[in-house]
Structure 1
Amino acid sequence: MNATSLGAACAAVLNTADPMAKVRMARETARRWRRGALEHRFDVGLPDVPARPERPELLPPNRMPKRGRGGSERGRTALLHALAHIEFSAIDLAFDMAARFGAQFPRRFADDWISVGADEAMHFAILDRRLRRLGTPYGALPAHAGLWEAAEATAHDAMARLAVVPMVLEARGLDVTPETVARFEAAGDTASARILNRIYTDEIRHVGFGAKWFGYVSAEQDIDPAPHWQALVRRYFRGSLKPPFNDSARESAGLTRDFYAPLAQN
């Protein structure tokens, strides 16, 4: 990697299509940032859409095959593949967050989101390794084409990006993962359950970074954070917030019920 600025290094991650090459690039960028080998400078344009490998085939949500609730081995493998695709996309979301909005924030904003990007790269790598052991590597099944839509819709507004990506999309993972872990454990797949538990713990921290920086901007601009968050979610999130919510995990991340309860649809 020849990049000398954080912006250029993040752009290189986004422009790398091959999954394992992206993982290596993400990890190397995080290491160089921690060592002080990259300047806190954002001097390179970012792609509107990150580079993508030929596989998996990306389909609109209404064309995705039904995978069930993970009761069968085939269903559990399909679920792990879907989660791997989410983590692969999350690598790009984290590095885009750091580079696109880093100049608007103190240096520690980049510290947080580069660390998230390194986590997401690790999550993808361990899920892909598990899928290979199950005979279905990443790319073998189709995947959801809409995961980058939230990034495109909020590319102009740091608060909107923080509101939708970590505080809605990642927070949803906190709601559904404990039940998913329980289903894998009940099926005897403790190896996959351990992986999902590890990811779950990290995602609490990621949601916390979203809540922290949303609160930072709210304080800087003298904005009442919860109503403003709700307005941004209504405007930029395609979907609804559906219970049940993992209130304890959300609260430990700093995302309290006064944010999301008024938008909940039963």
Structure 2
Amino acid sequence: MEFFSLTLQALREPDPAKKGALVEALYKNLRQNSLTFDHETPVETLETPSYASVVKIVRPRDVPKRKRFDDAEGQRVLLHAIAHIEYSAIDLALDAAYRFRRLPADYYLDWVEVAHDEVRHFRMLETLLAQLGARYGDYPVHTALFDAGKKTAHDPLERMAVVPRYLEANGLDANPRIIQKLESYPSTPMIKAIVEALEVILEEEVGHVAKGDRWFRYLCQERGLDAAESYFGIIERHYPGLEAKNLQLNVEARRAAGFACDELKRMGAKACK
């Protein structure tokens, strides 16, 4: 069995259940060292996301938004939005493993492991959606994460900067705010279950960002680049104004994921240890 072919198969699979099974098999075989790596296998360009046949795709401004999560509809919208992020994260992790060749063996294991985690996250959210009488595909979604993958498909350094170190790291900031909002409502079994799921995701996403940080710094060292200057240069090209946004940063989580205090202060952190 050949690694890149199997990874592409999982990446292309639109059905969440089948995709999850393919990722589990890939992860198991990779850990057992039962796969070959043909680095000469042509790398295919993916023009549409795997979920295009499962959900309706709209512009980001047209995705349903709810300000309150203390009723079933608000909870369905919230869970569907996060489930879409996790589904997209499965594909981004698989794509990072599939697209970039001739990297150390640990690189491929890291990103298949991330995909494996994201499958589990998606399933947690899918279960909660089902308890609310909904499923993935009931609400329209946007392709912002897929588009970020396309924009960085030419260079693993840019991919590591943009996806784990920027987009996923932003999730480390947003997740606690969502938890705080949920905990401001009267407690119910569903609110408790959503908070528990978000806490699991937050803890494990720190490790995912850390993997991105590891490989970003590895590639910077390989190319003789300054990591901080390279990071801010790449993000400025794709998402201008990072240093002027004065973000509400989860400094503790970002530090655990590998960010340096100097970087975080450039993003607006008032204090950092």
Q: TM-score, normalised by structure 1?
A: 0.91
Equivalent pair of 2:76/2:134 in contact (CA under 8 Å)? yes
Identity of aligned residues (%): 33
**1:165-218 Cα distance to aligned partner (Å, 9 max, x none):** 000110011101112123333432111111111111110000001111111111
- Separation (CA, whole Å) in 2 of partners of 1:69 and 1:233: 32
Q: Which residue of 2 aligns with 1:216?
A: 218
Q: Which residue of 2 aligns with 1:194?
A: 196
- Separation (CA, whole Å) in 2 of partners of 1:258 and 1:159: 20
- Separation (CA, whole Å) in 2 of partners of 1:196 and 1:65: 20
> Shift of residue 245 of structure 1?
0.4
Equivalent pair of 2:152/2:159 in contact (CA under 8 Å)? yes
- Separation (CA, whole Å) in 1 of partners of 2:144 and 2:82: 14
Provide closer, same or farther for how the CA distance between residues 190 and 21 of structure 1 changes in structure 2, counting only shifts above 3 A: same
1:34 partner letter: R
Q: Which residue of 1 aligns with 2:145?
A: 147
- Separation (CA, whole Å) in 2 of partners of 1:238 and 1:132: 39
Provide closer, same or farther for how the CA distance between residues 207 and 129 of structure 1 changes in structure 2, counting only shifts above 3 A: same
| DSSP-derived class of the 1:52 partner | helix
Q: Which residue of 2 aligns with 1:106?
A: 104
- Separation (CA, whole Å) in 2 of partners of 1:12 and 1:31: 15
2:83 partner letter: A
Q: Does 1:29 align with 2:26?
A: yes
Equivalent pair of 1:18/1:53 in contact (CA under 8 Å)? no
Q: Which residue of 2 aligns with 1:51?
A: 50
Provide closer, same or farther for how the CA distance between residues 59 and 257 of structure 1 changes in structure 2, counting only shifts above 3 A: farther
Equivalent pair of 2:149/2:163 in contact (CA under 8 Å)? yes
Equivalent pair of 1:229/1:259 in contact (CA under 8 Å)? no
1:83 partner letter: I
- Separation (CA, whole Å) in 1 of partners of 2:76 and 2:240: 27
> Shift of residue 47 of structure 1?
3.9
- Separation (CA, whole Å) in 2 of partners of 1:178 and 1:217: 31
Equivalent pair of 2:247/2:267 in contact (CA under 8 Å)? no
Q: Which residue of 2 aligns with 1:80?
A: 79
**1:1-266 to 2 correspondence within 5 Å?**
4-42=1-39, 43-48=41-46, 49-103=48-102, 105-187=103-185, 188=187, 189-237=191-239, 240=242, 243-263=247-267
Equivalent pair of 1:150/1:164 in contact (CA under 8 Å)? yes
> Shift of residue 32 of structure 1?
1.1
| DSSP-derived class of the 1:41 partner | coil
> Shift of residue 54 of structure 1?
2.8
Q: Which moved more, 1:93-102 or 1:231-240?
A: 231-240
- Separation (CA, whole Å) in 1 of partners of 2:130 and 2:122: 12
Q: Can you give the 5+ residue segments of structure 2 that lack an aligned partner in the other structure?
A: none
**1:230-249 Cα distance to aligned partner (Å, 9 max, x none):** 00011123785551000110
- Separation (CA, whole Å) in 1 of partners of 2:262 and 2:127: 39
Q: Can you give the 5+ residue segments of structure 1 that lack an aligned partner in the other structure?
A: none
- Separation (CA, whole Å) in 2 of partners of 1:113 and 1:30: 10
Equivalent residues, number: 261
Provide closer, same or farther for how the CA distance between residues 102 and 115 of structure 1 changes in structure 2, counting only shifts above 3 A: farther
| DSSP-derived class of the 1:174 partner | helix
> Shift of residue 135 of structure 1?
0.8
Q: Which moved more, 1:139-148 or 1:246-255?
A: 139-148
Equivalent pair of 1:71/1:183 in contact (CA under 8 Å)? no
Provide closer, same or farther for how the CA distance between residues 215 and 32 of structure 1 changes in structure 2, counting only shifts above 3 A: same
Equivalent pair of 2:14/2:54 in contact (CA under 8 Å)? no
Q: TM-score, normalised by structure 2?
A: 0.89
> Shift of residue 259 of structure 1?
2.7
Q: Which moved more, 1:72-81 or 1:10-19?
A: 72-81
> Shift of residue 107 of structure 1?
0.6
